[in-house]
Structure 1
């Protein structure tokens, strides 16, 4: 194996790299460690999954780790502006994931990378990501942030689910455990719409932030947004039908995922994730999302198609 001591061009983000008072919940510490990929050769990285009894790797984790791998091969003056990904096979959480980065282009202002995530000798995920040197240019924003309550006035996701799952200890443990992302719903949860059909909607508004003072590296904040982007998009499709994970005879999985990053932002500040599902049919559903800063700036656009399959 070659000398890998000077291969990474961007810093890593260990659990000791955050600022502030050092208070970071265990789930966020673990996520930062998961994103700190091991570089095993030039353009080859290895990542692991949380030690949990789950059937497959969370799609947001694979997307985030793949983006880390791509970003570690790009000069610091170029920030990611878009990614396009496909989820090909379920990820096995019991073994590492190897990320192979292909350097497709290094232009004067744009850089393009392709990442293939591999397990058991087969591709489970592919991503193309494009990076861009900052340039001045025309600017406008037609999208308007939805009017929703301030996040501090809303209960946490864990508090809302604690009341909903009642005396079901296994579900309560799963839904109320510490999470790396503090999510505050300004719209009904899927479980609420499952219990009350009048709450069905094809729109979801969720505030989220990572509750710690994070490093200033722009790549980290983009990666954390990619991780969070996969939590609730499929839920928006389910919400339109009054279905909920663990309560309905439904099986779902992300098929593809695309993101465009418009402006710099911080994932440790509140971000409103406004989502809608314009269509579902044929065991598939489409969901779109826009991320806004608290001041109303549109910073990220997201589109995802998912498999929504009814089971017996």
Structure 2
């Protein structure tokens, strides 16, 4: 069962992943040998493998980009700051929520703009309007430091899915599906659902310190390049061409043996795949490489358009093929074998 719909519509900005974590825990607890939450809030599931002398870590992050309340104005409107990589140009007119309260991000209307019309909006010029008439009224419901999440419907059609937080709830859903299908790992395998990836790859460092894996596999959602405004030579990935295999991204070069093992596995299994052709963006793999004794890692991703926005688009066949590839990698264990 794919859990992308439920996961996408949940609020879980970096540092506020509890709802997402508890949902995942409730769905996978009967399919693993052990399950615990560490002090950072990472959810770590253990599945015993055929060979207990080696350890594999497979991870996806639970958090999404969003906003946080920084000030409540005298008129009751709410100022905010970004949590993670949020482009202010996408924000005017978007519906957001604090706790169970919904509001809209306001900006000066176009027919009242002068110089503002020539430049992108800035965070300091945007406010959330919850309908309050005063600061006193707003403070009964909202406090500085409250998390602000986007509000978006999840929609499927024409083989595609649209919704928020696909980065990286698609990866979380995919790992849940693998566990529910009864994956049989080649070696002892830890499935980690990490926190605060979007604010500096924070939760992942704690994970490797605890479980000390031999190798890691990061399951992500990555940028598709086939956006309307981009020339084809600048595309990173393309929807419909299968999982994206990373050979290099910001802060980390994938070890050649791991990269080639992932590619060879996809070819052998007849799973369509593509290379991620641009280095922009980073993943927990970079943190694994420079934490503890240095854990080598590979990265496999589901391509999605418009990530880090209230509406992303992914191809459902890409999702399914990424799931197939990750499951085979776990069951064969070759990415661990090539690391000695």
Q: Which TM-score applies when normalising by structure 1? A: 0.28
More helix by share: 2
Instruction: Say which structure is richer in strand.
Output: 1
Give the greater-gyration-radius structure (CA).
2
Q: State the TM-score, normalizing by the size of structure 2.
A: 0.26
Q: Greater relative contact order (Cα 8 A, min sep 6): structure 1 or 2?
A: 2
